[in-house]
Structure 1
Amino acid sequence: MDVKKLKEELIDFSKEIGIDKIGFTTADTFIELKNRLIKQQELNYQSGFEEANIDKRVTPSLLLEKPQSIISIALAYPAKMRVRVKSKTGERRGIFSRASWGMDYHHILRDRLKKLEEFILTKVPNARLKSMVDTGELSDRAVAERAGIGWSGKNCAIITPEFGSYVYLGEMITSIPFEPDSPIEDQCGTCTKCIEACPTGALVQGGQINAQRCISFLTQTKNLIPDEFRDKIGNRLYGCDSCQTACPVNKGKDFHFHDEMEADPEISKPLLTPMLKMSNREFKTKFGHVSGAWRGKKPIQRNAIIALAHFKDISAIPELTDILQNEASSVLKGTAAWALGKIGGESALAALEKAKKNETDNEVQQEIEKGLSFYK
């Protein structure tokens, strides 16, 4: 087997199937990453969505028998909507982060990785391969950094010279000894714009994030959003792009290479009030194909309520009142109570006072008190 030739053929094939960048690295253990992950765990900075077993996250040999190399791929996604819609009084809109525009990127990258696997197996039928995207054991960013896809920025994202940090990442562990590519030198320098732009101070320092404070993480939780973060969330329904949009490398970066990644503005920047009444089936029909829907409708509805409070949207008071009176979820009821107080007005006050007399859930009662406190 001519591994050098196979690598060249694989690079050419990757371009044919819509992979924007490909890199190769060894299957050695990610020793430095392991130390960082242990520290993150000690500090309780992890989100809880990651693979719990740190050894699996850093040791390719635990995931594939006798691995020899790892292939890293990157696909560039758009930074701007081709068709834009504006939020206006009475028709306020929320926003999904750029990484959740278009089709769920997990499906897109798995498609590309599957095609790469099939190509490799036509050349090396006995090759052992294991692909993963995001939810796999390995750290996509650590693999991409070592494979020369980009450098790990202070915002904890991989930044590529060509596409900035607007890239989806995936990887494949292989039993083929591909020659590794060289990592890219860190180019962040003394810039700290991403750290300064983080609304909640989640970027503790360059390259270190407290996921528990990250808005992207918070929008995916299922409980009540802690008080200190509610005003920071704004109209974000899923994810956060602040540390990306602040990055000077990302300035002017906007690539539209993949039709399946294009944003439908009515999905990526939807009207808020209609979301409050959606059934599970309606939510799945409209949003089920985007990555931001993976936690179901209730976290998105909770975030929509916070967004309506952010806009002080008086027209939403009847819907918020209905949630407070009739919704089964204490999280949605409680968030609606807080939002009514935030929006203000006599009808909102009346709804809160009525709920205070009738509500039996202690958690919701606390939120009603928070709502009423805005009138004091």
Structure 2
Amino acid sequence: MTTVWYPCCAQILRTTQWSLTSPNSARSRCSLKPVWCLRFGTVPQAERLEAFQPTGDPYTDELLSLGVDAGLHRIGCADASPLIEARNAIKRRIDGGLQDEMQFTFRNPKRSTTPNDALDGARSIIVAGLSYATPDVEPPFAVSGRVAKYSWVEYYEPLRRALTVVRDRLRSDGYRALVFADDNSIVDRAVAHRAGIGWYGKNANILVPGAGSFFVLGSVVTTAELATSSIVEDGCGACRRCLDGCPTQAIIEPGVVDARRCLAWLLQKPGVFDRRFRVALGDRMYGCDDCQEVCPPTTRRQLRVTPPEGARPWVDVEALLEMTDEELLDSVDWWYVAQRNPDWVRRNALIVLGNVGELGSPRVRDIVATYLEHPDPMLRAHAVWAAARLGLHELIPMHDTAPLVIEELRDLPEVRTTRAN
């Protein structure tokens, strides 16, 4: 490994007896594990991304190579025994109420942690990741709503296509095989860890050596008995940037997220958006990448991909709030929207408008005024909040009798004086 020495390393050298070569050397070997380099900010955790670790079994490695040729960035193989550790972790989160109203793999922990329930006779699982590590894009609209990287386009579609190539090969060889991606039948991060895709980060994401966590995950469960990949050693060390960097402190301990505080979940959750976290929402319209964007293995990633055609890193919040139901849902057709109810998206947009809408803008004022008269009290309530944030108190109907609106009137936020971060 090539080591680049920084002042912090020189200070460490003066106060320790670690066996290191001279910090003045252009190329030197560090006796410490890469996790320490992550901690002190000197070098990436891995010099390059390896698409897979050879297992030594020709047939397994041929299948993994087939996945890479189909466009997958990382792939590995695990056995299909029950995921007992993941099942116990899910139960602990349910017992603590940390899942909030989230269903997905929480709906049936036994099923989602028993691969044999997904495919009778399952022996192996080929797990893969497709990177969405795209460069950031500047906001283009007067009021821009930020979209998390994984939802700029429908990334699961190309992931499924690539996994289907592997599935079809297994079927042609006489085995049964099924593809699972964005599916509550299997806990994707648990099988990804077992298959050597990466380690569990403290932000609860899978961190791929040399590439970080910007990956969508999927798998092929099969009756074929294949060789298994080696589990990746933890690479977080003493780093806690994700815990400290979460805008709502939703990561309550390493690897444990309280969904009741997580902006990514709150944006999808039906009902009134928790007042405690509306200002922290900032300009986020769908998802939140903060715990990944501060993560050293992710920020120093060796893999960067070009945004696909049609990628939408931002949405026009003003235009969205002026759309019909059909137009709105068509514009975000790959987002998860509870019950496909566009009003949950409008709710989020009203909060973003209150946070980053242009102060004094006639268009912003007209939009808020329209929603203050909306027939749905849930939307009127969020419009009251947005109006107060924007200093448009003269528009607020103080005599609205709907309970949700009365709640908002009792606890109006402070007026925003500048554009929120």
Do they superpose with TM above 0.5?
yes
Displacement after TM superposition at 1:105 (Å): 2.2
Identify the residue that residue 120 of structure 1 maps to in structure 2: 170
User: Secondary structure of 1:186's partner?
Assistant: coil
| Matching of residue 349 in structure 1 with residue 403 in structure 2 | no
What is the rounded CA distance, in whole Å, between the counterparts of 2:381 and 2:86 in structure 1? 40
Of the three residues 93, 103, 111, the one matched with 2:144 is 93
Identify the residue that residue 17 of structure 2 maps to in structure 1: none
Structure 2 CA distance for partners of 1:30 and 1:356, relative to 1, 3 Å: same
| Matching of residue 158 in structure 1 with residue 206 in structure 2 | yes
Displacement after TM superposition at 1:16 (Å): 1.6
Structure 2 unaligned segments of length 5 or more: list them. 1-55, 417-421
What is the rounded CA distance, in whole Å, between the counterparts of 1:252 and 1:63 in structure 2? 36
Structure 2 CA distance for partners of 1:367 and 1:36, relative to 1, 3 Å: same
Identify the residue that residue 108 of structure 2 maps to in structure 1: 53
What code does the residue aligned with 1:281 have? E
What is the rounded CA distance, in whole Å, between the counterparts of 1:58 and 1:304 in structure 2? 36
Residue-by-residue CA offset, 1:96-140 (whole Å, 9 max, x unaligned):
1011112x1232222222222112222x23x12122112232111
Structure 2 CA distance for partners of 1:185 and 1:194, relative to 1, 3 Å: same
Structure 2 length normalisation: TM-score? 0.79
Displacement after TM superposition at 1:321 (Å): 1.1
Identify the residue that residue 36 of structure 2 maps to in structure 1: none
Contact 2:210/2:297, CA 8 A, preserved across alignment: no
- The structure where helix makes up a greater share of residues is 1
Identify the residue that residue 336 of structure 1 maps to in structure 2: 383
What is the rounded CA distance, in whole Å, between the counterparts of 2:205 and 2:179 in structure 1? 20
Structure 1 length normalisation: TM-score? 0.88
What code does the residue aligned with 2:356 have? F
Contact 1:340/1:371, CA 8 A, preserved across alignment: no
Displacement after TM superposition at 1:292 (Å): 5.2
What is the rounded CA distance, in whole Å, between the counterparts of 2:156 and 2:119 in structure 1? 21
Q: More deviation in 268-277 or 167-176?
A: 268-277
User: Secondary structure of 1:108's partner?
Assistant: helix
Structure 2 CA distance for partners of 1:373 and 1:232, relative to 1, 3 Å: closer
Asked which structure has the greater CA Rg, the reply is 2
| Matching of residue 108 in structure 1 with residue 163 in structure 2 | no
Q: More deviation in 232-241 or 328-337?
A: 328-337
Displacement after TM superposition at 1:59 (Å): 1.3
What code does the residue aligned with 2:176 have? R
| Matching of residue 136 in structure 1 with residue 184 in structure 2 | yes
User: Secondary structure of 1:340's partner?
Assistant: helix
What is the rounded CA distance, in whole Å, between the counterparts of 1:136 and 1:38 in structure 2? 15
What code does the residue aligned with 1:97 have? A
Displacement after TM superposition at 1:258 (Å): 6.5
User: Secondary structure of 1:298's partner?
Assistant: helix
What code does the residue aligned with 2:115 have? P
What code does the residue aligned with 2:85 have? E
Contact 2:206/2:213, CA 8 A, preserved across alignment: yes
What code does the residue aligned with 1:96 have? V
What is the rounded CA distance, in whole Å, between the counterparts of 1:6 and 1:33 in structure 2? 29
What is the rounded CA distance, in whole Å, between the counterparts of 1:229 and 1:66 in structure 2? 46
Displacement after TM superposition at 1:18 (Å): 0.5
User: Secondary structure of 1:371's partner?
Assistant: coil
Structure 1 unaligned segments of length 5 or more: list them. none
User: Secondary structure of 1:168's partner?
Assistant: strand
Residue-by-residue CA offset, 1:120-173 (whole Å, 9 max, x unaligned):
222x23x12122112232111000001000001000000001321011100121
Contact 2:170/2:176, CA 8 A, preserved across alignment: no
What is the rounded CA distance, in whole Å, between the counterparts of 1:226 and 1:269 in structure 2? 23
Of the three residues 220, 229, 238, the one matched with 2:286 is 238
| Matching of residue 304 in structure 1 with residue 349 in structure 2 | yes
Residue-by-residue CA offset, 1:309-352 (whole Å, 9 max, x unaligned):
11253321221111111x232221110001101111xxx22211
Structure 2 CA distance for partners of 1:291 and 1:207, relative to 1, 3 Å: same
Identify the residue that residue 200 of structure 1 maps to in structure 2: 248
Matches within 5 A, 1:163-202: 163-202=211-250
Identify the residue that residue 147 of structure 1 maps to in structure 2: 195
Structure 2 CA distance for partners of 1:15 and 1:338, relative to 1, 3 Å: same
Task: Tell which has more relative contact order, 1 or 2 (C-alpha 8 A, sep 6+).
Answer: 1
User: Secondary structure of 2:218's partner?
Assistant: strand
Of the three residues 351, 354, 358, the one matched with 1:313 is 358
